[in-house]
A = this chain, B = another copy of it.
Amino acid sequence: MSVKERLIYLPLGGAGEIGMNCYVYGYGPEGEERLIVVDLGVTFPDMDTTPGVDLIMPDVSWLEANAERIEAIFITHAHEDHVGALGHLWPGLRAPVYARPFTGAIAKMKMEEAGQPADSVRIVGPHPAATEAGPFRVQFLPVSHSIPESAALVIDTPAGRIVHTADFKLDGSPVVGEPFDPELWHAIAREGDGVRALVCDSTNVFSPQPGRSEAGLVGPITELLKGQEGMVVATTFASNIARLKTLAEAGRDAGRSVCLLGRAMKRMLTAAVEAGIVSDFPSLVQPEEAADVPRGNLMLIVTGSQGERRAASAQLSRGKYLGLEMKAGDLFLFSSKTIPGNERGVIRVMNAFSEMGVDIVDDRGGLYHVSGHANRPDLEAVHDLMRPKILIPMHGEHRHLREHVKLGLAKGIASEIATNGMMLDITGDEPAVVEYVEAGRTYLDGSTLLGAMDGVVRDRIRMALNGHVLVTILLDEDDQPLGDAWVDLKGLAETTRSGASLADEIESELTEFLENAGPKVITNDDKIEEAVKRIVRQVTMEEIGKKPEVTVVVSRLAVE
């Protein structure tokens, strides 16, 4: 009796959120499938849910427990939400990593920064080159996006062909990198038995208009620059090499010297030049030279399109940066869109520039930015082109995935929502959920990894919301209090509304408690702690209306 083999799909990140992409495919007998991993990305923390955290990554415990089954890791493109976790998570997976040259250069940097072997990253060419990985044969299919070399993966398995789109848009003239090639995609869809499953980007499923081309921006941006008399500063994503080129060309065509500011931007451009992706980038001046260029002849291209506090745009909004400074009459251009959740930071930068008298142009009119993702009609065009048996939306919040499934069902394609941790069997005509795998989040916090459920970050949020009271109690050899309880406050009002000292009020209540505590309590640290916490919270609530976190330290002179 032969064991039935199956083809599985398991998202561990990126399905039910936009960020930290990580998708797993498997083929083989149930529970023994050989695996490949597509992308290992990060998502970014915020004060509301992850204060103090440096990066958020998928919880790959399931992969680690099955590490010996992993044949390979494929990185589709060099955006942080696809490659940012590679160095941090690789030690638990230890499989070879495949990527195209520019993506591979960034992937190697990620490995090196994390102290992992960069030579685990192997550089491969695009379709028709193919990588064999156990039962899988994988080709990188070039596609346009907001970073060079983005590639869909054509994954052939004994159960049929999967096309994993990665992030993409349909751009026939993307300025840098390969245009979307409908004929090639058509050919791939028609080879053999066609496409069993299309696993497809969902980011812009709610955008009703067809996407626009990167090539349409240089004209309007050049026009905008020609009308300016002061310095012009433009920001966009550091990795959007095509946009950097568009901005730099517009600057040059408007008669300006162009200077790049921001480490990430320089790093990306260097990697792109080294990978041979961009060869005719306009010449640049260095920041120290830029300071000598008349303002009306200068253009800066800077990092920080999302209002990040340490990026060049925010630095300029606070004053001088690398000898350069914005002044009244200058122009600041956001050649970018604000990612939902980043509004506060972007608005902070805008207002700081406004106070300097700097004019701001953003994407409101749609003239100076285009998205890197396929819009709703583009997604439909790809469905039609690929004619898959099964559609599985990815790279989206739940609402995006759900809308994308509706689109597929309307075309008669078997479509299914699979969010992080849901394992689908896609061997048959309809995808079927066969297992739920633990798939949470892992935090990089300083130099260490934390589980999202460890409680560490929860304690930080509680201290931030409620403040922290520390109580030190000293008991002598006879378990009698030595002096008064000592109270330290952090993140709480020191004085009550009546002008009394909150610490004094708490201390006097605690002293009374200790004086009257019976032997059963006073000899038991847990009971003391419990009572002290209750008293501290009660007094603090009465006096200032807060219910703080409390830490109690009981020191005893008695030898146990």
Residues of A within 8 A of B (CB): 16, 46-48, 51-52, 206, 340-341, 343-344, 347, 350-351, 353-355, 357, 360, 364, 397-399, 402, 445-450, 454, 456-457, 459-461, 463-468, 470, 472, 474, 482-483, 486, 488, 490-494, 496-497, 541, 543-546, 549, 551, 553, 555, 557
* Pairwise interchain contact A51-B46, C-beta atoms closer than 8 A: no
CB pair A464 B51 closer than 8 Å: yes
Q: Pull 30 A–B residue pairs with CB atoms less than 8 Å apart, ordered by A.
A: A16-B351, A46-B48, A47-B464, A48-B344, A51-B461, A51-B464, A51-B465, A343-B343, A351-B398, A351-B399, A354-B402, A360-B399, A445-B493, A446-B493, A446-B544, A447-B545, A448-B496, A449-B497, A454-B493, A456-B492, A456-B493, A456-B494, A460-B465, A463-B490, A472-B555, A482-B557, A486-B553, A488-B551, A555-B555, A557-B557
Contacts of A493 in B (CB 8 A): 445-446, 448, 450, 454, 456
Check A448–B51 contact: CB distance below 8 A. no
Residue numbers in B under 8 Å from A398 (CB-CB): 351, 354-355
Q: Are B456 and A52 in contact, with the CB atoms below 8 A?
A: no
* CB-CB nearest in chain B for A541: B446
- Closest CB in chain B relative to A433 CB, distance in Å: 15
Task: State in angstroms the CA–CA spacing of A16 and B351 once bound together.
Answer: 8
Q: A51-B47, A341-B343, A448-B544 are in contact. Are A490 and B397 (CB under 8 A)?
A: no
- Given A446-B544, A448-B496, A486-B553, is A467 in contact with B343 using a C-beta cutoff of 8 Å? no
Most central of A344, A460, A474 by chain B CB within 10 Å: A460
**Neighbour of A491 across the interface among B206, B456, B486, B496, CB < 8 A:** B456
Contact (Cβ within 8 A) A555 B52? no
Whether B47 pairs with A490 at a CB distance below 8 angstroms is: no
Min Cβ gap A397→B in Å is: 5
Do residues A467 and B344 form an inter-chain contact, with CB atoms below 8 A? Answer: no
A454: chain B residues at CB < 8 Å are: 493
A463–B461 CA distance with the chains assembled, in angstroms: 9
Q: Is the CB of B448 within 8 A of A52?
A: no
Q: Give A458's nearest chain B residue, CB to CB.
A: B491
Which residue of the partner chain B has the closest CB to A346? B340
| Contacting residues, chain B, for A482 (C-beta < 8 A) | 557
With known contacts A351-B398, A399-B350, A446–B47 Cβ distance under 8 A: no
Distance between A108 CB and nearest chain B CB, rounded to angstroms: 23
With a cutoff of 8 Å between Cβ atoms, the chain B residues found around residue A545 in the complex are: 445-448
**Chain B residue nearest to A460 in the complex (CB):** B491
Partner of A344, one of B16, B340, B350, B553: B340
* Chain B residue nearest to A493 in the complex (CB): B448
Contact B553 A457, beta carbon cutoff 8 Å? no
Contacts beyond the supplied A448-B496, A454-B493: 11 A-B pairs with Cβ under 8 Å: A51-B465, A52-B465, A350-B399, A351-B398, A447-B497, A447-B545, A448-B543, A448-B545, A472-B553, A474-B474, A488-B553
A347 / chain B contacts, CB cutoff of 8 Å? 340-341, 397
Are A463 and B446 closer than 8 Å at their CB atoms? Answer: no
Quote the shortest CB–CB distance from A422 to chain B (angstroms): 12
The residues of B that contact A353 with a CB separation of less than 8 Å are 399
Q: State in angstroms the CA–CA spacing of A490 and B456 once bound together.
A: 7
Shortest distance in angstroms between A88's beta carbon and chain B's nearest beta carbon?
Answer: 11
User: Smallest CB-CB separation from A52: which chain B residue?
Assistant: B465
Inside 8 A of A496's CB, which chain B residues have their CB?
448
The listed residue with most B CB atoms (<10 A of its CB), out of A446, A470, A483, A497, is: A446
Collect the chain B residues with CB atoms within 8 Å of residue A551's CB. Answer: 470, 488, 490
